[in-house]
Structure 1
Amino acid sequence: MQIYTKAFLSFSLLVGVSALSQETHKDSLKNNKLEEVVVTGQFEPQSIKKSVSNVRVITKQDIKNLAANNLSDVLNQYLNITVQNSGSDGRSKVSMFGLDSQYFKILVDNIPLVSDTGLGNNIDLTQVNLDDIERIEIIEGSMGVTHGANAVSGILNIITKKFTHTKWEIAANVQEETVGKEFAFFDKGRHIQSFKVSHSISENWFVSVGANRNDFAGFFDDKKGKDYTENDDKRGYRWLPKQQFVTNAMLGYTKDRFSIFYKFDYFNENVDYYNPIVVPVPNYPFESTYFSSDRRYVTNRFYHHLNSNGHLFTKLLYNVSLSFQKQQRDIERFNYYILSDEERNYEKNNFQSKEVIYSTGTVSNFFTNKMFDVQLGYELVNEKGFASAASGTFRDENLQLVDISKRLENYDIFTSAEINLNDKLSIRPGFRYSMQSQFEDQYATSLGFRYLLKKNIELRASIGKSYRTPNFDELYTYFVDSNHNLQGNAALTPEESFSYEVSAKKTSHFDSGLSLSNNVSASYQEVNDRISLIMTQIVPTMEYKYMNIDKYKMWNISTTHQLAYKNFSLKLGASLVGISQKIDLASLNAVSDDAFLYSLQLNSSATYNIPKWNTMFSIYYKYNGKYQQYVQSTVNTVASFELSEVDSYGWMDASVRKTFFKNKFEVTAGARNILNVTDVQSSISGGGNSAHAAASSALQLGYGRSYFLKFTYNLNFN
């Protein structure tokens, strides 16, 4: 009950402060139109120039040029972000600054999106559909004050569309895409269809409904598919077939200074795994039959979001959201009889589940003097679920299957202030206190600065402390048999991170119509007590356990440049990242090297619009330099750390987009992965011990050059 008592007292204090402050505030809504507005991490929508944080925006135009259907299609092209694809399970995860998807938070309209194993984290990028979005906003670095636990390396906020400029908007899309060289209309390639209708019922009411189907037929490569009967390891697919279905609906009401909307999304995914082992069944005197023990992974996600924002007591600005989300992953096991196309001996089990009640809210605009403002906020998280993707299921010490559904709760309050000392200098301090049900209470702090110089030069600096809480896998996994010993650790503590960032940006506009934007930034980050799955015993069996044992350090220098002249635009960027990680396996007398290892990324994009032809040409390129890290190794029962290297590679996409009939009809044609990246070599170099032979393997990053053709029909009328 202690957590509920502390939560009640804290929220009582929050409400009391709000009530006392309502007499000394000023309406902050302005009627002037902002050229480029951002909302992530802000008190209210405002231009990027006024934001204390560095906000990157991926526009709707970029998403159209890439013919992107999900986040994985988009993020391949952006600095400091690495998309990690896996053909073996059909998932794509994001990594930023060498920290995996547990440290990067993905939100939809400021609500963290649920996944099988996290809230906002561990998101499968292919499960995030982009049909309904207006833009994507990305902030790098610690965002623990405004977005809570696990916003360590950065956040990505998807802003969905909530209005229409006309009475009716109807859009339909059909997209056909090859998978490498493979394509057929029904059983090869990628086939996408979507449909959306938006309607302004009246001046105040807005409604929209939509649906999307994405059929990825898998990548054969040297495999022979599901109906192959030979036992030569050729049955199945190199990348698993996947079918996704998304439907969404939204109802919104806006009048004067009040707005409310309800949004619903349903997501369904089937991923099919076909076992390469084929079992022949004699059927004398008839022809033998064949079956294989296959399985199917079925994911269902329900997303509900109710939001209200506007004015409180005529002056205060408020924004409150309530969300219920559930995502569940089931595994269906069956024997597939190949010749008769039948599934028998069917068995279904749920092995990953997450159910979340979430609410967040803010109140701001307390004071009449716009040199100073305060934002007060809260966040409530109630998670119930379990997950064990690594072990397949949970077992107790007697190897019996157990249901260990757990509930994790946190109740947070946070506050930020915006201090505008003059037109040039702004300071933004912030603090969050989090009351945890499973762990000791946590806190996050931040301090940001923005200074505007002459000639459109913007200087920014920030420092922040954040934290990451352990997930269900790390806390509760327990899987032990004669070959495996993999254990969670309920005694784990949250990780602690510190980040520092400085940046300078200059924007120039010339009479000729030329515009230039140049940005350079540097950052440093530390993560202490980082959780790692480490080897705790070698003999008589290898044992692995999650422990707070890792120390991580990172520094980064990035620069981006944009040029726009008439119908042409060009973007160039570069990033150099140095990462140091130290793991001390005291029980095995092994300590990793903590030297900094460096990786370079370059990116560029160019677009050229020919208005006379209603045609846009686009090309995107990203270079990912060689990546290194130390990994655990054992030779002759002796533990050590060896340097692992992943070779460099480049990723290029290009498209041509043309509109017809007064923009009612649109055709986009292009290619992904033009450089034909498939597998990238990964190696572990041998050390001084001659017993260490250099080992190498291939990482699946793509399935080769692919081509797409997209048709869009837009019908807008009053």
Structure 2
Amino acid sequence: MQRIINVAVMLLLTAFIAHAQEAELKGVVILKNNQQPLPGANVYFSGTTTGTATNNKGVYQLKKLKPGVYDLSVSFSGFKKVKKSVSLQKGENVVNIEMVESDHSLGEIVVTGTGTAHHLKTAPVPTELISKKAIANAGASDFNDLMLNISPSFEFNPGTMGSFMSINGLGNDFILVLIDGKRMYGDIGGQNDLSRINPDDVERIEILKGAASLLYGSDAIAGVINIITKKSKQKLNVSNTTRIRDYATIQQSNTVDLNFGKISWNGNFNHKSSNGWQLSPYELDGNDLVETEAKAQNKYTDHTFSQVLTFRASDKWEVYAGHSVYEKDMFRPQSVGKYGYYFDDKTFEMGAKYLLNRKDYISLDYNYDQFRYYYRYNQDYKDYSDGDKSINNDQRLNNIRLKYVMAISKNNKLTLGEDYTEEKMVSEDRLEEGEAAAHTIAVYAQDEITLFNHLNVVAGIRAVKHKEFGGAFTPKVSVLYKLNSLNFRATYGQGFKAPTLKELYYAYEKGGTLYMGNQDLDPQRSQFYSAGIELNHHVISASLTAYENEVNDLIDYRDVELLEGDAENGISKRRQHYNVDESRSRGFDFLMNAKLGAGFTLGGGYSYVDARDLSNDERLDGVAQNYGNVRVNYEHAWKSYRFNANVIGRIQDDKSYDNGDDNAKGYDLWKVTTNHRFSNLGAFVLEAQLGIDNVFDYVDDSPYGSHYGTIHPGRTFFAGVTIHFAQ
């Protein structure tokens, strides 16, 4: 017994001595101008996995640290990052931090352009950033609305089941959408189902324009959109956002973050629903107008649940695993169709990151995505009963990514990577063999070099091997030259995109038109050039970028001859994929942001696009020539209350269809939003938003089925409330 007591005493003494030799760091992060606490600021040691976030009183605490010298970093969106060296002694150490708001977003950290972290103003690859603040100010109803409000380079062509997205005249097939760096998979009628993205969950959005195949592969000929979602490092963070609009439109986001020691968990549940709306009670039947109950925006309801669990095994490595489930119902009246549309998506992800030292690391990531598209019947029909579903297609993705980042020297960083992608589609009715599959393997190398402190060069090459279409190389080089407050940029890159499984094999009928794949398609190849100048000043920031993106063998639809018996089967037109010999998109983008003083900020941009099929010198369908955005912001903060008001405008001209014979109308839409933040509520922060969308009540009342520039229903009112709780 005495021996057991002696062992217990020794263990207690050992634990006490070990604890006494540990260091603890704590403090408060405050705003320099008014000494108010800053909740949610990230506090971490550079080059490690150790970090936390301030609670709603601005307090942070890091325990069980080894005494020594650390590089402490404190960051928060919209504020200048603070870096300082701290020497931690045994026991308690106190370091308080004062933060200053950025004059503009140029101090923000971006990662998408090179796969490594850079300040926006010195990122070697030109990157457009949509900040957390800009997202909150927009009061967007969905992702499409958000991008139209903020970036003139984006366009969305409305469709029955969703919108076709384009950047600078090139469409959805050439745009890679990432969520936290992972590819978003699954499409509706050829376009990404962007309903899965709730603007209230988005921390920031990073945009690359032009060929980005070097790092991201074949889908990135027109650009990359990387959506970084909100994740708090606070011990406990609970957030609920509810927004309501006309037409019984409700969007809700619920988030929980837990961070205890080495374990972090983020969970999110979203719900959105709307009764939809008509733009016109008529549709064209040949040359006649007939009454219809069809809606430009169908009634729908959707919800998403996602979660991620992260384990930081040490200050050198961490592992994570997560999954998400998404479902969406789109309803149509019985007089319009015998069915509505139903979609579901399931994803799983896992990965690990190991820090070799403070600058070098290895990461391995895997994600699986299964997206399925159904008809859901609204009446008894053939072998189906009201409420039954029949599946149209089942799309599956497996993707494995390995990356190694090595700092060769202070001015030279090398990135090596390997990317394996496997795709499979199953559709008994729409694929000739019932299923189709393809896989791609790629390796890449990228070198970032700084010369003479003023010249940055990023150069690299990707080698890709496709199952059906062989190999290709896609090099890219970007150059940044800094001269005082001016940046000069130039980029050249090549792209390679094999035809998709749908473009090769998929066939379906809609409204009497049979849309068909083509197994004789060639891969699409591109060459991208851009050059630009940026002004970075504490009062004004502006950029002007000219570009040209040449795409050979672009895949599009064309009419082909009808076959005998088509009329008896209800087929009045056949359209098949084919390769356009030569096409290109050229133009320029202008972006600016200016501090006007007295709390006012003016921002916006203009985009000119000339997108053409060069084989017949016709404009590409669905592309306007002139796009513009205007944003006027006023902000003022009192001790515990912050007020923000915004006027946001979107202007664009006609979009070409059928070489100008059936254009979609141009429009301008204006929005007013006000935001109110109350922070002197203990562990709670309350935010409210009120606004008017489409202030001047513009409605395109063309008959149903026409080409629309916008399907906005007219002047609408919206309100939202967000409640944060954090400790």
Instruction: Point out where structure 2 has 5 or more consecutive residues left out of the alignment.
Output: 1-45, 49-70, 75-80, 82-106, 283-289, 567-572
Offset of 1:336 from its aligned partner?
6.6
Residue from 628, 640, 654 that aligns with 2:656: 628
Question: What is the SS of the residue equivalent to 1:83?
Answer: strand
Distance 2:359 2:677 in 1: 45
Offset of 1:328 from its aligned partner?
0.6
Aligned to 1:652: 670
Question: What is the SS of the residue equivalent to 2:452?
Answer: coil
Question: What is the SS of the residue equivalent to 1:49?
Answer: helix
Aligned to 1:432: 462
Aligned to 1:74: 146
User: Within the alignment, does 1:259 sit opposite 2:318 as a pair?
Assistant: yes
User: Within the alignment, does 1:712 sit opposite 2:716 as a pair?
Assistant: no
User: Within the alignment, does 1:416 sit opposite 2:484 as a pair?
Assistant: no
Residue from 529, 542, 545 that aligns with 1:500: 529
Cα RMSD, aligned residues only: 3.1
Distance 2:371 2:155 in 1: 25
Aligned to 1:635: none
Question: What is the SS of the residue equivalent to 1:64?
Answer: helix
Aligned pairs for 1:470-619 (under 5 A) are 470-478=499-507, 486-509=515-538, 515-537=539-561, 543-564=574-595, 565=597, 567-583=599-615, 591=616, 593=618, 599-612=625-638, 613-619=641-647
Aligned partner of 1:358: which letter?
N
User: Within the alignment, does 1:93 sit opposite 2:164 as a pair?
Assistant: yes
Q: Is the 8 A contact 1:71 1:130 kept in 2?
A: yes
Question: What is the SS of the residue equivalent to 1:218?
Answer: coil
Aligned to 2:333: 274
Aligned partner of 2:119: which letter?
S
Q: Is the 8 A contact 2:280 2:701 kept in 1?
A: no
Aligned pairs for 1:103-502 (under 5 A) are 103-116=174-187, 122-164=191-233, 166-179=234-247, 189-202=248-261, 204-220=262-278, 233-235=291-293, 237-254=295-312, 255-276=314-335, 294-312=338-356, 316-335=360-379, 344=385, 347-367=388-408, 369-386=409-426, 393-394=429-430, 404-454=434-484, 456-478=485-507, 486-502=515-531
Offset of 1:73 from its aligned partner?
2.5
Q: Is the 8 A contact 2:688 2:721 kept in 1?
A: yes
Distance 1:220 1:580, change over 3 A: closer
Q: TM-score, normalised by structure 1?
A: 0.78
Offset of 1:308 from its aligned partner?
2.1
Offset of 1:473 from its aligned partner?
2.3
Question: What is the SS of the residue equivalent to 1:441?
Answer: strand
Q: Is the 8 A contact 1:433 1:444 kept in 2?
A: yes
Distance 1:32 1:239, change over 3 A: closer
Distance 1:318 1:406, change over 3 A: same
Offset of 1:309 from its aligned partner?
2.2
Aligned partner of 1:524: which letter?
E
Q: How many residues align?
A: 604
Distance 1:61 1:314 in 2: 30
Aligned to 1:48: 120
Aligned to 2:156: 83
Offset of 1:126 from its aligned partner?
2.3
Offset of 1:681 from its aligned partner?
6.5
Distance 1:348 1:104 in 2: 31
Distance 1:245 1:699, change over 3 A: same
Question: What is the SS of the residue equivalent to 1:365?
Answer: strand
Distance 1:680 1:76, change over 3 A: farther
Distance 1:526 1:470 in 2: 17
Aligned partner of 1:46: which letter?
H
Offset of 1:334 from its aligned partner?
4.1
Q: Is the 8 A contact 2:271 2:303 kept in 1?
A: yes
Identity of aligned residues (%): 18
Distance 1:57 1:483, change over 3 A: closer
Question: What is the SS of the residue equivalent to 1:678?
Answer: coil
Distance 1:477 1:50, change over 3 A: same
Aligned partner of 2:497: which letter?
R
Q: Is the 8 A contact 1:94 1:125 kept in 2?
A: no
User: Within the alignment, does 1:666 sit opposite 2:683 as a pair?
Assistant: no
Distance 1:200 1:594 in 2: 53
Question: What is the SS of the residue equivalent to 1:114?
Answer: coil
Distance 1:595 1:346 in 2: 40
Q: Is the 8 A contact 1:519 1:561 kept in 2?
A: yes
Q: Is the 8 A contact 1:163 1:206 kept in 2?
A: no
Aligned partner of 2:299: which letter?
P
> What per-residue deviation string (whole Å, max 9, x for no partner) do you get for residues 139-161 of structure 1?
11110101101201111001123
Aligned partner of 1:460: which letter?
R
Q: TM-score, normalised by structure 2?
A: 0.77
Offset of 1:235 from its aligned partner?
4.1
Distance 1:102 1:598, change over 3 A: closer
Distance 1:310 1:569, change over 3 A: farther
Q: Is the 8 A contact 1:264 1:305 kept in 2?
A: yes
Distance 1:480 1:614 in 2: 54
Question: What is the SS of the residue equivalent to 1:73?
Answer: helix
Q: Is the 8 A contact 2:550 2:584 kept in 1?
A: yes
Distance 1:43 1:700 in 2: 35
Distance 2:142 2:707 in 1: 29
Aligned partner of 2:528: which letter?
S
Q: Is the 8 A contact 1:469 1:494 kept in 2?
A: yes
Distance 2:263 2:505 in 1: 47
Q: Is the 8 A contact 2:431 2:505 kept in 1?
A: no
Aligned to 1:229: none
Distance 1:677 1:152, change over 3 A: farther
Question: What is the SS of the residue equivalent to 1:335?
Answer: coil
Offset of 1:355 from its aligned partner?
0.9
Distance 1:334 1:219, change over 3 A: closer
Offset of 1:234 from its aligned partner?
4.5
Offset of 1:594 from its aligned partner?
7.2
Aligned partner of 1:57: which letter?
L
Distance 1:675 1:594, change over 3 A: closer
> What per-residue deviation string (whole Å, max 9, x for no partner) do you get for residues 257-300 of structure 1?
323322322111011111326xxxxxxxxxxxxxxx63131111
Offset of 1:428 from its aligned partner?
1.2
Distance 1:158 1:348 in 2: 32
Offset of 1:492 from its aligned partner?
1.2
Distance 2:240 2:191 in 1: 31
> What per-residue deviation string (whole Å, max 9, x for no partner) do you get for residues 103-143 of structure 1?
1111011111011369xx82122232234332111111110
